Structure 1
Amino acid sequence: MKITTDIIPVHNYFIGDKTNLDLEAICVFAATGFFLDQDSYYKEQKVLRPATRYELNEEGTSVLKSSPYFKWHYTPNERPLNEVVDEFADLFETIIKEHSQGNKMILPLSGGLDSRTQAVALKHLGIDTHAYCYAFKGGHDETLYGKKIAASCGFPFQGFKISEGYLWDVIEPLSELNNCYSDFTHPRQMAILDAYQTMGDVFSLGHWGDVLFDDMGVPENLSFEDQVEVILKKLVKKGGWHLAETLWQSWQLEGDFKSYLQTRVIKLLKEIDIPESANAQIRAFKSLYWAPRWTSVNLAVFEASKPITVPYYDARICEFICSVPERYLAGRQIQIAYIKKRMPELAKLTWQAQYPFNLYTYHYNKTPWNLPYRIFNKIKRLSKSQLYIQRNWELQFLGTSNDEELKNWLFESDTFDDLVNKDIRNQFYKLFKEEDAVFYSHPVSMLLTLAVFSKKR
């Protein structure tokens, strides 16, 4: 049996038995929100690595041979930015056209650049497209951006408000889709799953464009040791160290968690080996480990409704990125220039990350030019009588009814007692409720995920 995994896989392929829990791997999951490299919940079960050709036994349960066919690299082909943009335009539009195959595409829009770039390509190619966007109830209305982008492209558009507490009605079906390999606070699309049926035929999803088409914000000559520290800071979520170290000690694992994770990151980063560019090396690390083990996991929610395409995952995009000089990737220059080239009017619409500026004026998003907006926005937020929702977890964890559901999952499950001590669950719940909700929202979310996993297994 032969399997070839994609450079950035949409699906994780598991082999091996579910026998003994891999507690070290679960500690990493608790700290970061995803499993690292080939890890799973079980010691005997592993995930096949990206960009690798595998030969398995007839039952598909063990690896006989494996050989990688692609290695992330940095081989910049020096040419002017306008040539790079033209290359990107030809390549991206070719991919979008191939993905559509005469189908009506469903495009999730946001105020960012990835979906806007897709919208430009779909419009330029004349592909039938239905766009939509969602926003938090009580939060910043992201549908305003999506509606304007869709109108500029002539796409039909639907806007949705994601209400508080939607998670509890869908948490078990969601766990069947992501198999508890991601926490449950991020896939807002689960709240509107039924609405997709009438929108179109195939999703065009914009995942991972923001990683591939930007720099990593570090000097090109950043030392290997400092790269490890940057990755650890990016990997571990707020409160993640605390939860993982607490679990590590409670399970009486050998050594200490921080040294364990640091050693693993060092080993994986050395395998990448791109000494010419710290940005390219960190991007490769994220594409090998974040993308398939975190980003891809909840793509299953979209796929439960309609077939999906992910243009930025395409192998040709990965190869293209390796050939682009880092100075052109910095600051999202390629996507910005492409949008300006194909649809200048769309470039004039507000860029959410640089609000209230657009793709022509975002350079002014600094003092003193943005000071009036910052003052106005702060006054507006302070004047609101209700809580201003900014984060996914606030919709699911805050408020009396949400709290009751959360406590039920954390404390009323006998199966969870076998995995995580109730004193630990009480400790982090109290820290979330009484000390710092923002800092301890991640640990609570991971404990909820482990609670659901305990029930499923």
Structure 2
Amino acid sequence: MFVATGFFMGVDTYWKNRVCLLPGHAHEIDAKGYLMKSTPNFRWHHTPQELSFEQSLEAYIDLLTTITKEQVGDEPVILPLSGGLDSRSQALVLKDLPNPVHAFSYSFEGGYPEHKISEQIAKECHFTFDGFKIPKGYLWHCIEELASINGCYSEFTHPRQMAVLPQLKKMKGVFSLGHWGDVFFDRGAPEGSTEADMVPLLFKKMVKPKGIELAEKLWQHWSLEGDFKSYLISRIEKDLADIKIDNVSAKVRAYKTSQWAHRWTTTNLKVFEAAHPITLPYYDNRMCEFVCSTPEAYLADRRLQLAHLQQDKKLAQITWHAQRPFNLLNYQYNKAPYNLPYRIFNKLQREVTGFLGKPYIQRNWELQFLGTENAKHLESHLFDDEFNHWIPQTIIKEVYQDFKHGDAVASSHAASMLLCLSVWYQNNITAL
């Protein structure tokens, strides 16, 4: 499951006799450390209140402000900023609080300078700011530390904040993190989706094509009963059945939160926590209840967040990274023919830099896996004799050759998962 999706599901761990405690539950653990009982203290529901959009917007703004104030207290605030909506929403709230705020952002070396958008947001809010470039090959200098932090429960190319952890440790205050706002305040499923669409939709979103190929190879190698795809679908169906919601969009959002947020997003929050205490306004129980009681039409298409941010025209006029070069006031024009000049210019720019031997970087794995020096480090982990006792070289060679000579974008997930498994195995070989 981990290989296919990139995260463990439910209570699963690497170990047969260890579980991951479910969120929103009270747990009884005996003196020997064994889990005796888990009782849910929160259940996802869909009971939208009959409020106007303006009333829901006011309630959302009041709630986000109240939670943020309570969480940060009197502490200085460290705000990771992106070019999106979640951290910008936090910035708008923090802008009016007395706490000193230091914002930071990062961009990939050789990629789009997203930190420039963040810098504009910080300047408009009168925050101090640091912009970082994520360098090529940083992973190999900190991979053991990262493995210790996240326990190898997430592959290593997602938490790019690890590249600047020493700089983060020098900052002062508590983090205010905007994780999961994009899921709460958008559609859970495409408009018009039916109950029959849920499993195929989640399967497509969860599973990486090359990840499931690798998972099926391992399933066969270990001679497990049945077939992996059927097992995976049965897991999705069972967990969906436990969510007693009729609305498809709300049910998919609840499912994603109970799986993705719990086992993928939360795992790498530990990197921030290795520097300073963390606060998470979108994780607050009151925010979960608000989402459960808000009409889907208000949550869809980021309506509440956009309406909140559009109250500050200067913040709204700054580029929205996902809709670049458009902003929060004119993003509707990000379609032909209005966006053709930018798309043509952007493509030419990428082709020219590629021709000059400077490929355009869009993903963290490109900085960590591509190139001669990176390949040496990656191969030293994948083709380790001890590791190959567990995952045979025949399987690893198939994946690695596909990555090097086939579709690197599609195969990067499988290569990254093997790297994660290799580091975990080396760190646990004595116990095994």
1:124 is paired with a residue of what secondary structure? coil
1:335 is paired with a residue of what secondary structure? helix
Q: CA deviation at 1:51?
A: 1.0
Tell whether 2:340 aligns with 1:367.
Answer: no
Distance 2:32 2:321 in 1: 49
Q: 2:76 touches 2:172 (CA, 8 Å); kept in 1?
A: yes
Tell whether 2:320 aligns with 1:348.
Answer: no
Q: 1:93 touches 1:125 (CA, 8 Å); kept in 2?
A: no
Q: CA deviation at 1:415?
A: 2.4
Deviation sequence 1:267-316 (CA, Å, 0-9, x none): 000111211x1110010001001101000001111101111111110100
Equivalent residues in 2 for 1:209-220 (5 A)? 209-219=181-191
Equivalent in the alignment of 2:58: 86
Distance 1:379 1:54 in 2: 56
1:239 is paired with a residue of what secondary structure? helix
Deviation sequence 1:307-366 (CA, Å, 0-9, x none): 11111101000000011111111110111111122x221011110111111111011111
Amino acid at match of 1:435: G
Amino acid at match of 2:304: I
Tell whether 2:32 aligns with 1:59.
Answer: yes
Tell whether 2:195 aligns with 1:224.
Answer: yes
Equivalent in the alignment of 1:25: none
Q: CA deviation at 1:422?
A: 0.9
1:360 is paired with a residue of what secondary structure? coil
Q: 1:218 touches 1:278 (CA, 8 Å); kept in 2?
A: no
Q: 2:185 touches 2:302 (CA, 8 Å); kept in 1?
A: yes
2:310 is paired with a residue of what secondary structure? helix
Amino acid at match of 1:445: S
Tell whether 2:302 aligns with 1:332.
Answer: yes
Equivalent in the alignment of 1:107: 79
Amino acid at match of 1:56: I
1:210 is paired with a residue of what secondary structure? helix
Counterpart pick for 2:233 among 240, 246, 262: 262
- Coordinate RMSD, CA, aligned: 1.1
Distance 1:231 1:197 in 2: 37
Amino acid at match of 1:103: E
Distance 2:291 2:329 in 1: 24
Q: 2:174 touches 2:279 (CA, 8 Å); kept in 1?
A: yes
Counterpart pick for 1:37 among 10, 21, 34: 10
Unaligned runs of 5+ in 2: none
Q: 2:185 touches 2:299 (CA, 8 Å); kept in 1?
A: yes
Equivalent residues in 2 for 1:9-408 (5 A)? 28-63=1-36, 65-219=37-191, 222-275=193-246, 277-341=247-311, 343-384=312-353, 385=356, 386-408=358-380
Q: How many residues are matched?
A: 425
Distance 1:102 1:297 in 2: 27
TM-score of the two chains, using structure 1 as the length reference = 0.91
Q: 1:219 touches 1:278 (CA, 8 Å); kept in 2?
A: no
1:85 is paired with a residue of what secondary structure? helix
2:391 is paired with a residue of what secondary structure? coil
Deviation sequence 1:88-108 (CA, Å, 0-9, x none): 111100111111111110000
Distance 2:86 2:8 in 1: 26
Distance 1:432 1:278 in 2: 37
2:405 is paired with a residue of what secondary structure? helix
Distance 1:89 1:364 in 2: 27
Deviation sequence 1:401-449 (CA, Å, 0-9, x none): 00000000100x2321232011111110001001110110000000000
Distance 1:217 1:254 in 2: 33
Q: 2:27 touches 2:35 (CA, 8 Å); kept in 1?
A: no
2:304 is paired with a residue of what secondary structure? helix
Equivalent in the alignment of 1:12: none
Deviation sequence 1:132-176 (CA, Å, 0-9, x none): 001000001111111000000000001001110000000001000
Amino acid at match of 2:299: L
Amino acid at match of 1:108: P
2:404 is paired with a residue of what secondary structure? helix
Q: Is 181-190 or 193-202 further displaced after alignment?
A: 193-202
Unaligned runs of 5+ in 1: 1-27
TM-score of the two chains, using structure 2 as the length reference = 0.97
